[in-house]
Amino acid sequence: QVQLVESGGGLAQAGGSLRLSCVASGLTFNNYAMGWFRQAPGKDREFVSSISWNGGRTLYAESVKGRFTISRDNAKNTVYLQMNSLKPDDTAVYYCAADRNVGYIWRSRVNYEYWGQGTQVTVSS
């Protein structure tokens, strides 16, 4: 049974930082590309960032480029999202997702097979 468990969300002030973690189990982690998505109230779930199986390639949404950094530790079955210079518009539930794929990394959520339960990030102004 595949499980993705996010942690690290919480309340931050604008300009502050948070680091999200997502621990995967029940899968061979280094066979999977990983992604982070977010969903604000009343909005669709949107792409934030993705990383290839070995960390060699990354993608970012324009809205977070230069502020967020995705990374992974395959020995720990964990993917991270370091979020700096947070803005109130970053307030959302953040989800990690896994795609069994060592060739590509995707922006579209339809490409991801497994999802975590989400962690709330709230940024106050």
Per DSSP, what are the bridge partners of residue 99? 33
Q: If you average pLDDT over residues 105-116, what whole number do you get?
A: 94
What rounded mean pLDDT belongs to the chain? 97
pLDDT in the model for residue 104: 87
> pLDDT for 6-54, tens place per residue?
999 999 999 999 999 999 999 999 999 999 999 999 999 999 999 999 9
Q: What is the mean pLDDT of residues 90-108?
A: 93
